[in-house]
Structures are given as C-alpha cells and as structure tokens.
Homo-oligomer: A and B are copies of this chain.
Amino acid sequence: MKPVNVGICGLGTVGGGTFNVLKRNADEIARRAGREIRVSHVGMRQTKEGFDFDGCTISNDIFAVARDPDVDVVCEMIGGYDTAFELVMTAIENGKHVVTANKALIAERGNEIFAAAKAKSVMVVYEAAVAGGIPIIKAVREGFAGNKVNWLAGIINGTGNFILTEMRDKGRSFEDVLKEAQELGYAEADPTFDVEGIDACHKLTILSSIAFGTPLAFDKAYTEGISRITAQDVTYAEELGYRIKHLGISKRTDKGIELRVHPTLIPETRLLANVDGVMNAVVVHGDAVGPTLHYGAGAGAEPTASAVVADIVDVVRALELNDVQRVPPLAFHTQQTDIDILPIDQIESAYYLRLEVEDRAGVMADIARILGEQDISMEAIIQKEPQEIGGEVSVILLTRKVLESSLNQAIADIEALSSTLGKITRIRVETLKD
C-alpha cells in the first residue's frame, strides 16, 4: 500500500515533536498501522533549522499544506484561535482529515468544526488537546463506552500543579513560585491562561462533553484560578489531612451537569493528591467500572507528539472506510441537549473556610448561629491562637456538603459581623469517593 502523507502546519514544540517522533519511530509505527506514515509537507512561517526535511515539501504558507492534493492528514500545530480555525476549516473543505492539539479551538469552536467534518466525511481528532500524552480521550470515548459516567476530576494544567506542589513542599508563596516557573519556561510571561484556569477549563469542557454526551459548553463553565491561594491555606489543609489541587471537575447530577475549575481540597490519601510537579492525572468514575485514574505528562514536545501520532494512526486505520465517523468526535452519535450546565451557586460541595476574627467571647457562637440558619454542619474546626493578647484569631472551618448559594449567604452574614476582619477565604472540598 502507498504511504500515508502527513502535512504538519507549525513546527513549534508540538509540531516539531510530532515531526521527530514520526521520523524516529517510523518502522515501529508502520508495523502497528499497517502502512508507512511519512511527513510529506511542512508549513511554517519561517523555515526552522535542525530538522531532517529530506523528501519533504516546505511551504512558508501553512494554507498550502491544507490545500496540497497529496496530503491525506493535516496536523494543525500552530495553536491560537482565528488562523487555526481558518486552517482547520480549509483542510476540511479540501477533504483532509485533521489532527489538532488545540484545546482552545476544540472547546470554543468544536461544535462548528465537527459539523463541518461530518458534512465532508472527514475525521477531526484531538487526543493531544487534553492531558498531553495520556490517552484520556480514547479511554472516555471508547474504553468506557459501557458506562454511564458519574463524574470526572483532573489535574489538567501542569503549570498550576507545579506551583501548588512547590508551595506545599517548600512553604513558598504563589508569587515566588510563579516567578521561578516563568524562568524555567513552565509558565508563560502572561500566565493568565494557566493560573486562572482557562486552559484547564478548555480541557474540562471537552472531557465533560465526551463523558456525558452533551454539546461543548465552554461559555457555561465556572473558572477560578489559584492566584489567591496562600501558603497558610496549604498548611492548614495539610493539618486537616488534605492537599490543595487545581482541579477540573464535571459531574452528572439530577439537576444538571456541574462544570467547574477551581482550587480544591482533596484527602491526602487519594492517588490524585499525590500527583505532583508538572504531571497530569484524570480520575473518571463510571457506574460499572467505578473509579479509574489516568496519569502521565500533560505537556511537552514528545508526550504531546505521542498523542498526535496515535491520532494519525487512528485516522490511517479509518482511511479506507466509507464512514469515518464510526467513533463520533464527541463520543455520542446523538447528543443530549435537554440537560443544563448548573450555575456555580447551584452546585453542592463541602467547603474549607478561613476567616480572621477578633479574639473575644461570643464570636464563635455568632458564627455557629449563622451556619445553623443555613443548615450547614461542620466536619472540623480549627482555631489558631492569636500572636498577641487581644490580637486576631484565624478560624478554619470544614463544612459538610451544602448548596453553594446557602454557603454564599452564610459567608455574607459572617462577613457582616463586626467581629469578622476582612474577607473569608473559601476553597471547595471534594472527597472523590462515590
């Protein structure tokens, strides 16, 4: 059989990694795929050094790759929004299958892209868009096809996890670690996407859709970053037997689907609590399979290329088919559109609260009264002695599960007490049990 021709658009980290892995493992990949897979065309604005472009057309216009009649599969490796969208749509119009690692593009414009792909009978695959080298899309979309997924929760941003790991291990502040992460190249000069949870939310949006069979709903997700987590909170969480992780969580409930990214206390005995540094991990809980965990590198040239190449092999295996959409891009042939994404104040969660109060009689009674009014019961209370007589006292509360709107009311009422100093810190708590 003749070789399959792959076109790579963009030769940065992911594109370069894909180019190298396809070359280095060409024999092994051909033995798996049943056909030779070769890079026939590379598009990049400026021609890069250090690659063996032998037998490969080079274009400085990436759109030339998407229109090349000899290319079977187009890899969109440029990232970003508008040009990437235009490139993917051009490739689809030209009857090319598309592989992308672009989470923002899929999460925000996937519904349009998949509709176009269906109309032109081509595949658009994106394993590399979520959790890098971990084959989590395949696991949820195919491996758990027999399950009704109950919930999933993941550490899906390596930068954020690196920062939280360093804060815990070394008692350092958020700002301090962020600066180091930027120097090490783990964090961008503008770290907003990573530390404010937008990147994680893109990935969560995709996972939620393929787990529950609902349309992509990025604009309905709740996102909260880690920039307000203090070294103190990390320490108090540990005293309570928890670790703070930046999680993407999506759950199916009777009221609708929860879709939220935020710092979360999880019990330190969970495997997920022990996923450290830049590593990623996703827990998926299915009604038949129970809890499962999938761990690996969430970024980097070669781990991401691992996912891109697996996708290319999947496409190659489907090339001769009439119906390439046997595995639908978002896992379900028919999506459930009558199910709501819950607003964040309608979720149910346990909570960690930290407040500073005046050191005087009756303060705890007032707090207890307010919590009682909202039917909030306590799992644990820690009161930290003041540094000086009459100074302020830190109170840490761990609540049982409660509706978030009730908790918000309690927080407002407690903050209104004259004995409460400043704002209350609130972090959600998940046990990650059934």
Contact = CB atoms under 8 A, between A and B. Distances in A.
Closest 8 CB pairs of A and B: A146-B309, A135-B143, A292-B296, A133-B289, A289-B306, A293-B295, A288-B306, A145-B313
Chain A residues touching B, majority SS: mixed
A213 B17 CA distance: 24
A226 to B, nearest CB: 22
A331 interface: yes
25 contacts: A17-B288, A25-B146, A28-B147, A29-B146, A31-B213, A32-B213, A32-B333, A34-B326, A133-B288, A133-B292, A135-B139, A138-B138, A138-B139, A138-B142, A144-B306, A145-B310, A146-B309, A271-B274, A288-B302, A289-B303, A289-B306, A290-B296, A291-B296, A292-B295, A293-B296
A135 B142 CA distance: 9
Interface string A302-326: 1101111110111001101101001
A266 interface: no
B291 A33 contact: no
A317 B310 contact: no
A107 interface: no
Contacts of A309: 145-147, 288
Given A31-B213, A145-B314, A291-B296, 14 more contacts: A21-B147, A22-B146, A24-B287, A25-B288, A34-B333, A133-B288, A144-B310, A146-B306, A271-B295, A288-B305, A288-B306, A289-B302, A292-B294, A293-B293
Interface in A311-366: 312-314, 317-318, 320-321, 323, 326-328, 331-334, 336
A394 B219 CA distance: 64
Given A289-B133, A306-B289, A146 B21 contact: yes
A306 B145 CA distance: 8
A134 interface: yes
A382 to B, nearest CB: 27
A45 interface: no
Nearest to A321: B321
Contact of A326 (B17, B24, B148, B317): B317
A286 interface: yes
Contacts of A32: 145, 213, 331-333
A143 B136 CA distance: 9
A320 to B, nearest CB: 7
Interface in A142-175: 142-148
